[in-house]
Amino acid sequence: MSDTTHSDNQAPIEPLLKVRHLSTRFKTDRGVLTAIDDVSFDLAPGETLGIVGESGCGKTVTSKSVMRLLPDHLTIYGDDSEIMYKDLNLVRASAGEMRKIRGDKIAMIFQEPMTALNPVFTIGWQLDETLKYHTDLNKRQRRERVIEMLRLVEIPNPEQRVKEYPHQLSGGMRQRVMIAIALSCEPDILIADEPTTALDVTIQAQILDLMNGLKRKFNTSIMLITHDLGVVATVCDRVMVMYAGRVIESGSVGEIFHNPQHPYTKALLESIPKHGRKRADGRLPTIPGIVPSLWELPEGCRFEARCKYSDSDRCIHQEPELRPGLSDRPVRCHYALGSPDERPVNLTASAAEGAAG
């Protein structure tokens, strides 16, 4: 867990995945709902990017958009939305092109492995399916590879386990099988959507340890979607924080944890109980109120109603843009935290000339 190789300096490594202006809208009975709005980020080779936020913030929609797992007939992507994987824009890719990429180049693991695995096929069959589709290996070679993959994810007695069905495995084992399936074609990118949320902490530690080991072995880039900030601190290199469908801040994991600039990020970090630092008054700092409904988004900043720094008409009436804050990383706030005296600093005043638009 000491791989912080690409942290500070943005070395000119070509990102593996470039997401630009990704907006995903859904056709519903009530009209068109914008689930995520103008999301842009890069994923570098071998990097682990954490996407953090509370339920409904759009983190799962972001990952499913990248995998194009959302129902095509109900989903509208923005006109200028781009998800560039190598030279292919996944937003406009055909179903055939996506089938070649899914499972082979970009693979995904889900929160609840029991619903993601097919209950009527053995786990050996399910691992074999991916290999059959994406590789030229013959039956015997595939069987060897299946057992090798199960051994790699530390499933004891893999020769026997291939014949078992998902219900015969424990929750941790099922998640290992999911990881084995996802990594069987050695993908460039692994998308992990709350991979440990349904698991106990000791099993979570096993899975996180496994993911870190496999990342080192295959140099896979990981997009880790989670609401657990402890998990983020343990495995991520960079973090993107989302709120109500918007990216509100991103930076290296150290910057986000030690010098959060957006009031939401700061409040979120403060509101989790800290191990070993018991508060004398027994109370936790809270964020008042709840996340706004995506149907009734405010005119101005989406966090304004819950923000203790909001004191201006501008926060109420004008949504801030995502622009470089005090330490040159993007923050979506008219004011940004992190100045020495802990008072919000007017960002737009100092960067008014630079930000034209």
Partner 1 sequence: MSLIEVRNLTKRFPIRGGVLNRVINHVHAVSDISFEIASGETLGVVGESGCGKSTLGKTMIRLLEPTAGLVAYEGEQITGLNHSEMMPYRRKMQIIFQDPYSSLNPRLTVSATLKEAIKLHRVLGDGDSMDDYIDTLMRQVGLRPDDKRKFPHEFSGGQRQRIGIARALCVRPTFIVADEPVSALDVSIQAQVLNLMKDLKDELGLTMMFISHDLKVVEHFCDRVLVMYLGHVVEELPTDNLDRDAEHPYTKALLGANPIDDPDDRRPLTVLQGDVPSPINPPAGCAFAGRCELATDRCKVERPVLERKESGRMVACHEVA
The site for partner 1 (CB under 8 A) is made up of 1-2, 4, 54-55, 170, 172-173, 200-206, 208-209, 227-234, 236, 253-254, 257-258, 267-269, 271-276, 278-279, 282-288, 290-291
The residue (of 208 and 336) whose beta carbon lies closer to partner 1 is 208
Distance of alpha carbon 261 from alpha carbon 331, whole angstroms: 7
Q: Minimum distance between the CB of residue 140 and partner 1, rounded to whole angstroms?
A: 31
CB neighbour list of residue 190: distance below 8 Å, 6 or more residues apart:
106, 107, 108, 109, 182, 183, 220, 221, 222, 223
Q: Minimum distance between the CB of residue 163 and partner 1, rounded to whole angstroms?
A: 19
Is there a contact between 330 and 336 (Cβ–Cβ < 8 Å)? no
The residue (of 247 and 287) whose beta carbon lies closer to partner 1 is 287
The residue (of 4 and 350) whose beta carbon lies closer to partner 1 is 4
The residue (of 127 and 256) whose beta carbon lies closer to partner 1 is 256
CA–CA distances in Å: residue 246 to residues 7, 228, 238: 24, 19, 17
Q: Minimum distance between the CB of residue 247 and partner 1, rounded to whole angstroms?
A: 18
Q: For the chain, first and last CA: distance in Å?
A: 41
Is there a contact between 237 and 47 (Cβ–Cβ < 8 Å)? yes
- Tell which residue, 50, 345, 4, has the closest CA to residue 224: 50
Distance of alpha carbon 334 from alpha carbon 307, whole angstroms: 12
What is the residue-wise DSSP string for 190-255? EEEESTTTTS-HHHHHHHHHHHHHHHHHH--EEEEEES-HHHHHHH-SEEEEEETTEEEEEEEHHH
Q: Minimum distance between the CB of residue 214 and partner 1, rounded to whole angstroms?
A: 14
Q: Minimum distance between the CB of residue 193 and partner 1, rounded to whole angstroms?
A: 16
The residue (of 19 and 231) whose beta carbon lies closer to partner 1 is 231
Q: Minimum distance between the CB of residue 29 and partner 1, rounded to whole angstroms?
A: 17
Parallel, antiparallel or unpaired: strands 335-336 and 345-346: antiparallel
CA–CA distances in Å: residue 278 to residues 67, 231, 266, 272, 275: 42, 20, 19, 11, 7
The residue (of 78 and 338) whose beta carbon lies closer to partner 1 is 338
If one counts every other C-beta atom within 10 angstroms of the C-beta of residue 269, the result is 17
If one counts every other C-beta atom within 10 angstroms of the C-beta of residue 337, the result is 22
CB neighbour list of residue 331: distance below 8 Å, 6 or more residues apart:
248, 249, 261, 262, 322, 323, 324, 325, 347
Q: Minimum distance between the CB of residue 95 and partner 1, rounded to whole angstroms?
A: 35
Instruction: Please count the helices (runs of H) and the strands (runs of E) in the chain.
Output: 13, 15
Q: Minimum distance between the CB of residue 231 and partner 1, rounded to whole angstroms?
A: 5
The residue (of 125 and 213) whose beta carbon lies closer to partner 1 is 213
Q: Phi and psi (nearest 5°) for 290?
A: -130, 170
The residue (of 132 and 258) whose beta carbon lies closer to partner 1 is 258
Q: Minimum distance between the CB of residue 186 and partner 1, rounded to whole angstroms?
A: 24
The residue (of 82 and 209) whose beta carbon lies closer to partner 1 is 209
The residue (of 66 and 180) whose beta carbon lies closer to partner 1 is 180
Q: Minimum distance between the CB of residue 290 and partner 1, rounded to whole angstroms?
A: 5
